[in-house]
Each structure stands twice: as C-alpha cells, then as structure tokens.
Amino acid sequence: MKGVLPIKGASGREKKAPKELESVLNRYFGYSGFRGKQLEAIEAVLSGRDCFCLMPTGGGKSMCYQIPALVKTGIVLVIPPLIALMENQVASLKNKGVPAEFLSSTQASHTKQRIHEDLDTGNPSLKLLYVTPELVATSSFMAKLKKLYNRGLLGLVAIDEAHCISSWGHDFRPSYRKLSSLRKQFPDIPLLALTATAVPKVQKDVVSSLCLQNPVILRASFNRPNIFYEGQKLPQPWKRLWKSWAPPKCKFFLWLAIRNKCWTSDRLEMRGLDHPVSCLFCDQEQETIQHILCSCVFARQFWHSILFGLNVGNLSPSRDEISFADWWRKTSKKIHKSKRKGMNSIIILGAWCLWIHRNKAVFDGETPSLSSIRCVFLDEIGCWITAGAKHLQSFGLVLARNLHRV
Ligand SMILES: [Zn+2]
C-alpha cells in the first residue's frame, strides 16, 4: 500500500478546493466547468492516489493532467503514444502561456539541450514535459527522472492511451511494457493511466501492468450527445455503398465526390460564386474534387505517407492518376480480402480528412500542412475505432507505430 511509504517532496498531497481548480480551468482553458470524470481524476492524483481513467476520445482527458500541472509542485511527465500528439498539445499549451515542452527524436538538439538545462536547475520553469515511452525506457532518461524525483521535482506521471501496454500487444509498443518500472522507481508519485478503450480485460491488464496501487478507477460515460456515432439510421443508398465503417456524413461526402458533385471552385465558378480559382493545396491546378483527393501533389504526398505507414506505399496514386474512384477501385483489388474493409475505411477517412483540410484552407485561411493533416487523421482513427470501426484497429496500430517516425 502506498500510504505506508514516506511521502517525498512533490508527491505530497496537495488538496485544492473544486472552486480553485475550476478557476484555473477557466483562466487557462476558458471552460466554465469540468466535464465527466475530470474533476474526480484531478482530485485523485492531487491526493496522491494512482488513478485509472476511462474517457472517450474528445472527452477532455488532457485536463486530468494539465490542471494538476498548473496547481501542483513539480513537473508533470506526460507519456503519449505519438510525437504528433505531443507536438500539438505542447504548441497549444505554450499558446496559453503554460510552460510545456516535449523531448523526441524530431526535436532540434539545441532545443533538447535547453530543456535538459532547465531540468537540471534546482527550480525548473517547466510544468509539463511530454516524452515518448521509448525515451522513458532508456537508462539515461530514467537517470534524469530519478534526479528530478530525488529533488522532489516530479509531481505526477500521466500515461496517455495506456491500453498500448495491453490490447495493442507487446510487439506493438514494447516500450509501453517498460513503463511498468515507473511504479517501482517512483513509489510515491501518483500514476495516472488514461484510455478510451473500454474492454474490461484491457482495463484490468493496464492496472496490473502499470502496477497501479489501489487506484481510483473512473469510467466516464460514452454517451456523448453531439457525436456522430449515436446509432443514426443510415439511408439505404449510403448503406449499400461500401462495406466499411464510416460516419454517414463521410460516406455521403464520398458519394458526392465520386459523382463529382462537390462544391469545388470550378463548380462554384460556373454559378458565378466567388471562390479561389486554383487549388489551395498546390496553387497550380484548377480545383476539382478529383484533384483535391487524388491528383494534387499535396494529396499524393498525404496518401503516400499514410499508405507507406501501412507498408503499402506502392499503392499510392501515381502522377497520372486522374480519377479518385478509379484509383480506389484498383487499390482495394490489390488488398487482401481480410484487410479490404479496413482499407476502405482508411480511404474514406483519408479523403474526408483531405476535404476538411481543404475547407480549412479555403474558409479559415489555414496553411495546408502534411503534419497537421496526419495528426487529424490519426485522431480521427482513434475516434472511429471508439465509435465501432473494428476493422480499423489493426491499421491504427501499424500507423501509430510507423507514422510517429515520419
Ligand atoms: Zn492541388
């Protein structure tokens, strides 16, 4: 039991009134109140307890460690599975004035050095440090953590997507298995395991693999009112389209795209509606739906990185591919039957992400970016899997393993 262990520095109980926590939430993140099990998770770790928190994707998991980081002494170490996710979170925290950094292979060496120097000072300015599970598994980084811990500067360790230690298999993220040593290395630092995977067997496995001690177990409701997987009835024509998992709006979009009925610049122009004349992805060609989804250099790069990440880079659209539907048809024929449903979902999801990305470029003036579209793509995969896209699961694993190295 943890209670009998001596309490060291930052691990001590630092209880805060819910009102106080709420005002921090409001000040930094602009929310008026906590949602779901957020407050309970925060209170659990602030009281020094381990916590297992099951929360749907998009349920606000990150608040469960970001708020403690803002009110607690010491650094909060966050271990997410993807570099893209940490880059995103760190950038958004910095925007809000929260001192956060990440350490990864993609980080420039002078940046890494600056972070290490900050950690070595007796009083680091950092509040949140994001690292990959691979880095935690190295002895040099573990030694660094030990130092922080011995100086009372490690406040909490949050393990995001904690199911990677279990259901996604040892082969998938062996480094997640190594996280089990955290409890032994830092016996009195609260561990927070977060996941959106609701399988009871997995939950049990996460708790035991991470050696959580007498953890507070929280399970948020998965009934989110405004999300697309609420058991909507699919109109017949969409249902017959493809035997793949996708929210109806995405399927409908694809249905329109394949029939060339989307509101691209050429079609708007025909109606005298104001719109950029050329494709905002490449600024070279006239924008048609086939171009956005398939022949544009941006689209081809996107498809290539995704398919390459799935070890089928050879199936990416070639330079002279002009029809998205034709390319898709050819591609799915080359995929083994057992994987075809998953691949169909990947293609629908990819096309949908390209379309959303294009809309952001057209309507919100956002700069097209491969890394940000890949990020959205991976987040959507997680969301679709939660929503019931079983065939995407294995694809998600392979992508998560390969894409974070891109
Ligand atoms: Zn283009």
- Domains of the chain with bracketed CATH: 18-219 (3.40.50.300), 238-405 (no CATH)
pLDDT the model gives residue 201:
79
The rounded Å distance from CA 269 to ligand 1 centre is 17
* Closest by CA position to 245, among listed 340, 179, 112, 124: 340
How many A from CA of 350 to the centre of ligand 1?
A: 16
Q: Which tokens belong to 149? A: 């811990």
Confidence of residue 241 (pLDDT cuts 50, 70, 90): low
Q: Report CA(58)–ligand 1 centroid distance (Å).
A: 31
Which secondary structure element, helix H or strand E, spans residue 237, and what is its range?
helix 236-241
CA of 349 to the centre of ligand 1 (A): 19
Work out the angle between the directed axes of helices 248-258 and 337-363 (0-180°, nearest 10). Answer: 80
pLDDT of residue 235: 41
pLDDT at 146: 93
Eight-class DSSP state of 81? S
User: What's the 288 CA to ligand 1 centre distance in angstroms?
Assistant: 9
Q: How far is the CA of 30 from the centre of ligand 1 (A)?
A: 37
pLDDT band at 168 (very low <50, low <70, confident <90, very high): very low
Highest mean pLDDT: which range of 44-48, 163-167, 226-230, 246-250: 44-48
Angle between helices 297-309 and 337-363 (to 10 degrees): 140
Ligand 1: distance of its center to the CA of 297 in Å? Answer: 6
Ligand 1 mean position, distance from CA 280 (Å): 6
pTM: 0.57
In percent, how much of the chain has pLDDT > 70?
Answer: 87
**236 alpha carbon to ligand 1 midpoint, in Å?**
33
pLDDT band at 333 (very low <50, low <70, confident <90, very high): confident
List strands edge to edge, sheet with 216-219.
100-103, 128-131, 75-79, 154-159, 191-195, 51-54, 216-219
Ligand 1 centroid to residue 174 C-alpha, Å: 40
CA 260 to chain centre: 32
Cα 76 from Cα 241, distance rounded (Å): 47
Please tell me the distance between residue 364's alpha carbon and the centre of ligand 1 in angstroms.
17
Q: What is the whole-number distance in angstroms between the Cα of residue 281 and the centre of ligand 1?
A: 5
277-292 pLDDT tens trace: 788 898 888 888 999 9
In order of 111, 167, 178, 204, 394, the CA distances from 175 in angstroms are 24, 14, 5, 19, 18
- Report CA(359)–ligand 1 centroid distance (Å): 13
Statement: residue 324 has pLDDT above 50? yes
Q: Residue 326: pLDDT above 60?
A: yes
Q: Please give the span between the terminal C-alpha atoms of the chain, in angstroms, as a whole number.
A: 42
Which pLDDT score, from 0 to 100, does residue 242 have? 61
CA 289 to ligand 1 centroid distance, Å: 10
Q: Cα(282) to centroid of ligand 1, in Å?
A: 4
pLDDT confidence of residue 13: 60
Separation of CA 279 and ligand 1 centre (Å): 4
| Gap from CA of 341 to ligand 1 centroid (Å) | 28
Give the distance (Å) from ligand 1 centre to CA of residue 211.
51
pLDDT for residue 171 is more than 60? no
Give the chain's mean pLDDT.
Answer: 83
Helices and strands, number each (H, E), in the chain: 19, 7
Q: What's the 287 CA to ligand 1 centre distance in angstroms?
A: 7
Q: What is the average per-residue pLDDT within 41-60?
A: 89
Query: What's the gap in Å between 352 CA and the centre of ligand 1?
Result: 16
How far is residue 286's CA from residue 289's CA, in Å, rounded to a whole number? 10
User: What is the CA(358)–ligand 1 centre distance, in A?
Assistant: 10
